[in-house]
Amino acid sequence: MAEASADDVDEETSEEAGRDTEVDVSVKQLLTGKVGSGPNSADDMTYEEARAAFERILDGEPEPETLGAFFLANRWKRNTPEELAGFLDVLRDRVETAYPETSAVDCGANYDGKTDTALLGVASGVTAAAAGTPVVAHSADRLPASEGASYRHVLQELDVDVDLNPQTSAEVVDDVGFGFYDARRFNPEVDDLLETRRATGVRTFVNTVETLVNPSNASVHLGSFYHLAFAKKICRTFELSQQSLDRVVMFQGMEGYDDVRPGYTQVAVWEDGDLRDFEIEPDSLGMEFTREDLETEDVSADSARLTREVLRGEASDTVHDAVTLNAALRLYARGDADSLEDAVDTADDSLRSGAALDRLQRLRRAPA
C-alpha cells in the first residue's frame, strides 16, 4: 500500500495541458457576471474559472448567501463537463488519499443515499471481491438533498468499522478485497460546506464531483445515471480532468445509486476515448427481481439484514439474483470477465460457495 496526496497521482499538470489555473476572479463576480446573470444571458465558466471558484469556496471566502446563490445558479444553468472537470481537479488536489497495491473498482455512488430500496453494494462488493475483483466504496453521512442511507450506514449496521483514515482503508482493500473510504476523513473541506448545502435544499455540483474523487486511485470507475446524457457528461468530465482512468462503466441505478434497476437497463462504457452503450434485461440472463422485492422500511437495517441473508444462502431467489447481477457488473467493469454472462456465472459461484460470506467476516475483523 502506498500513501500519496492526490497531486502525486497524475504527472501531467494543468500547465502542461495548456491551462492557466491562476484566474483572479471571485465567486461573486462569476455569479453576477456569468452563471447567475439571467435566464437569457447566463454563460458557462471556463475550466480555469470553475477551478478558481471552487478553490475560493473551499477556502471559505464567499458569504453563505453568495455561495447558496452560486450553487443554485449552477443547478439552473447545468454544468458543462469543462466546469465539472475544474471542480473535480480542485478536490483531487486537496483530498487526503491512500492507494492500495491492488487496482480496484471505484464505487462512488451518490453520497445523499437511498430512502426507499435496499442498498446492495456491500453484498455485491464482497461477492465481487471473493471472485477476484477488488472493490472500493466511499460515501459520507446523511448528505442533502435526500439525506438517505449510504454505504457507511449499511456497513455500520453490519458491525464494520467505517471510521478509518485513508491509509488504513487502503490496507483493508489489500487484505480483504473490499474497503470503505470515509469522505469525512479524506475530504473534510467539503464537509465544511454542509450547512449551506442543506440550506440550498437541492442537489448541487458538489453532489456530482464528490463521487468522482476516486480516493484509492482506482483505474476503473463504476457509477450510475438516470439518463444516458448524464453518463456521457460524466465520461467527458473524466476525459477533461487530470485524473487518469482506464475505464468508466455506468448504468441506470435505483434511486440514482449503484444498484442496477430491475427490467430494462442501459449501460454505458467509456474506454480509450470511445463511449458505447448497450442494454441488459435480467430476464435474458435467467434472473428475475422487481423493485417491490427490494423495497425497505429502514434502508440501513434492512439492507444489512438482506446482506447477511444473501451471503448465508438464506435470501429469496430474487434478492440473490439482484446481488449476483450487481456483483457481475463490478467484475465486468474491471475486465475480469469476458462477458456479462460469464461475470454472472462467476458471481453466482462466489455467493453459493460461501466465499463472499467469508469476505464479510474478514471485513468485520479488519483492521487487524
Q: Per-residue pLDDT tens for 65-93?
A: 999 999 999 999 999 999 999 999 999 99
Q: Which three cell numbers stand for residue 172?
A: 483493508
Model confidence at 2: pLDDT above 60: no
Q: Are residues 194 and 312 in the same domain?
A: yes
Q: Which three cell numbers stand for residue 231?
A: 453518463
Q: Are residues 83 and 18 in the same domain?
A: yes
Residues paired with residue 105 on neighbouring β-strands, in sequence order: 135, 220
Among 293, 231, 284, 234, smallest CA distance to 261 is for: 293
Q: Compute the mean pLDDT over every residue in the chain, rounded to the nearest whole number.
A: 93
Q: Are residues 177 and 272 in the same domain?
A: yes
Q: Are residues 173 and 225 in the same domain?
A: yes
Residue 367: which pLDDT band, with cuts at 50, 70 and 90? confident
Which CATH number do you get for residue 298?
3.40.1030.10
Q: Are residues 197 and 74 in the same domain?
A: no
Structure confidence at residue 55 (pLDDT) = 98
Residue 159: which pLDDT band, with cuts at 50, 70 and 90? very high
Q: Are residues 272 and 195 in the same domain?
A: yes
User: Which of 94, 111, 141 is a domain's end point?
Assistant: 94
**Number of residues that this document lists for the chain:** 368
Distance CA 246, CA 207 (A): 23
User: Which of 70, 94, 118 is a domain's end point?
Assistant: 94
Model confidence at 268: pLDDT above 90: yes
Q: Are residues 257 and 213 in the same domain?
A: yes
Which CATH number do you get for residue 42?
1.20.970.10
Q: Give the total number of structural domains in the chain.
A: 2
User: Which of 63, 78, 94 is a domain's end point?
Assistant: 94
Q: Are residues 77 and 116 in the same domain?
A: no
Residue 203: which pLDDT band, with cuts at 50, 70 and 90? very high
Distance CA 182, CA 162 (A): 7
DSSP 164-201: --HHHHHHHHHHHSEEEEEHHHH-HHHHTTHHHHHHH-
Distance CA 40, CA 55 (A): 27
What confidence tens digit (pLDDT) does each residue in 29-55 have?
999 999 999 888 999 999 999 999 999
Q: Are residues 179 and 53 in the same domain?
A: no
30: which residues sit within 8 A by CB, 6+ positions away? 45, 49, 53, 70
Structure confidence at residue 270 (pLDDT) = 97
Report, as an integer, the average pLDDT of 229-247. Answer: 96
199, 67 contact by CB (below 8 A)? no
Range of the domain at 176: 102-365
Q: Considering all CA atoms of the chain, what is the largest pairwise distance in Å, rounded to the nearest integer?
A: 61
pTM of the model: 0.92
Q: Which three cell numbers stand for residue 47?
A: 475550466
Structure confidence at residue 21 (pLDDT) = 52
Cα-flanking dihedrals φ and ψ of residue 142, to 5°? 55, 70
Report, as an integer, the average pLDDT of 5-32. Answer: 64
Report, as an integer, the average pLDDT of 89-111. Answer: 96
Packed helices 340-352 and 121-130: angle between N→C axes, nearest 10 degrees: 90
User: In 3-state terms, what secondary structure has residue 50?
Assistant: helix
Q: Are residues 283 and 299 in the same domain?
A: yes
Note if the bond before 328 is cis, omega within 30 degrees: no
Structure confidence at residue 24 (pLDDT) = 86
Q: Are residues 245 and 120 in the same domain?
A: yes
Burial of 38 (0-12, 13-18, 19+ CB in 10 A): exposed
Q: Are residues 84 and 110 in the same domain?
A: no
